[in-house]
């Protein structure tokens, strides 16, 4: 089987302008359609992942080196070279989980304190039940880390939207996109720190702290026409509120596990 060389689009049958036309003007289907072979797969990899002016690496590079500009471009509509935020966060969540399991062999949640209490002497039975419930919740998060991350994004976006509501004209869906991209930043930092696990054993805690700092820097760049400290304190309040809400959510899940158990 070779490439499709007809003068019509193989996807919608619209007439095309010949072999020099790369895409169908009606549906966007590449024309002509090439057979899937090693050359095709290599081209797709280079185009969607390794391309320096578009694709995954380009978006990640811009997000880490020029976060304010990328956020502004995406909100204002200049998105042609950017990978969709949902794809980015799903891929980076998977990368963090994979690296964490291969390199540290540990949990995605820091359960060291609960494990230490579980092995301590004279710990009340009720405390042991609570610690066991937390470990059960932690195991679920480990197994469904990407889903857990996506579940928290709307909550975090809602917090930022409310705290910044009188500060900017961004609506809730725009904040949802912003928070998704800021979370990708934290996952990139976390991935790097996991690679340095031998020298930096508390990668999760450090990634969370650095991610908060990076988020503040990114929003300062985004709100470049506003006072720096005004943006920073709003970011700090938003992150603190979200941390409390997410902690209460995990606590509530642990209580539910205790009752069911």
Give me 87's structure tokens.
Answer: 């794809």
- Alpha-carbon distance of 213 to 258, in angstroms, equals 36
| Measured CA distances, 46 to 41, 55, 87 (Å) | 9, 9, 17
3-state helix, strand, coil in the chain (%, to 5): 65, 0, 30
Q: Closest Cα partner for 92 from 239, 256, 207, 5? A: 207
The mean-pLDDT minimum among 99-103, 164-168, 169-173, 216-220 falls in 99-103
Looking at the DSSP assignment, which residues form a beta bridge with residue 30? 23
Residue-wise pLDDT for 24-69, tens only, equals 777 766 776 666 566 655 655 555 555 544 578 888 989 999 999 9
Q: Closest Cα partner for 183 from 145, 227, 237? A: 145
pLDDT of residue 181: 95
Q: Is 56 exposed, middle or buried (0-12, 13-18, 19+ CB in 10 A)?
A: middle
pLDDT of residue 117: 47
Give the predicted TM-score (pTM) of the model. 0.77
Is residue 95 a contact partner of residue 89, using CB atoms and an 8 Å limit? no
């Amino acid at each position: 089987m070779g490439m499709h060389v007809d003068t019509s689009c193989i996807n919608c049958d619209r007439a095309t302008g010949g072999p020099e036309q790369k895409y169908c003007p009606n549906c966007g289907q590449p024309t002509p359609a090439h057979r899937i072979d090693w050359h095709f797969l290599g081209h797709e990899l280079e185009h969607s992942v390794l391309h320096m002016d578009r694709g995954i690496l380009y978006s990640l590079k811009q997000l880490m080196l020029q976060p304010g500009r990328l956020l502004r471009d995406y909100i204002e509509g200049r998105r042609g070279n950017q990978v969709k935020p949902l794809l980015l966060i799903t891929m980076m969540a998977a990368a963090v989980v994979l690296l964490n399991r291969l390199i540290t062999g540990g949990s995605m949640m820091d359960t060291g304190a609960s494990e230490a209490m579980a092995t301590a002497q004279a710990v009340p039975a009720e405390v042991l039940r609570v610690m066991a419930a937390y470990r059960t919740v932690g195991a679920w998060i480990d197994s469904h880390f990407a889903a857990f991350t996506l579940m928290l994004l709307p909550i975090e976006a809602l917090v930022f939207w409310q705290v910044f509501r009188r500060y900017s004209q961004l609506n809730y869906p725009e904040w949802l996109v912003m928070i998704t991209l800021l979370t990708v930043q934290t996952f990139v930092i976390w991935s790097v720190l996991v690679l340095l696990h031998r020298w930096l054993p508390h990668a999760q805690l450090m990634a969370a702290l650095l991610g908060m700092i990076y988020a503040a820097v990114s929003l300062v760049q985004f709100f470049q026409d506003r006072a720096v400290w005004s943006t920073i304190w709003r970011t700090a309040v938003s992150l603190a509120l979200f941390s409390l809400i997410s902690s209460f959510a995990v606590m509530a899940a642990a209580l539910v596990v205790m009752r069911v158990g």
